[in-house]
Amino acid sequence: MKIDINKITDYDVQGIDHSDAHDYADAYISQATYDDPKTGERELSDEEIEGISSSDKYDLIIKYIH
């Protein structure tokens, strides 16, 4: 299942190191709530979070920081 990041309603980011600004290579999404059109709001599994593309994860991390 492809995760539509626009349907992620809440998430938490860990590993933020501002000395690594703009790359944030160590930052990761540790938890995410998803508005699933089939089942309603639910927590994403670790595997589903890992399946989000790197560019989408980066976009979410930058949005979280700002």
Q: What are the pLDDT digits (tens) for 43-58?
A: 999 999 999 999 999 9
Q: How many CB atoms lie within 10 A of CB 34?
A: 23
Return the number of other C-beta atoms located less than 10 Å from residue 1's C-beta: 8
Q: What mean pLDDT, rounded, does the chain reach?
A: 95
Structure tokens at 27: 């930052």
Predicted pLDDT at 32: 98
Q: What's the number of domains the chain is made of? A: 1
The per-residue pLDDT for 2 is 87
- Quick one: average pLDDT of 26-49? 96
Does residue 40 have a pLDDT over 90?
Answer: yes
Range of the domain at 25: 5-65
Q: How many residues does the chain have?
A: 66
pTM of the model: 0.88
pLDDT of 22 strictly over 90: no
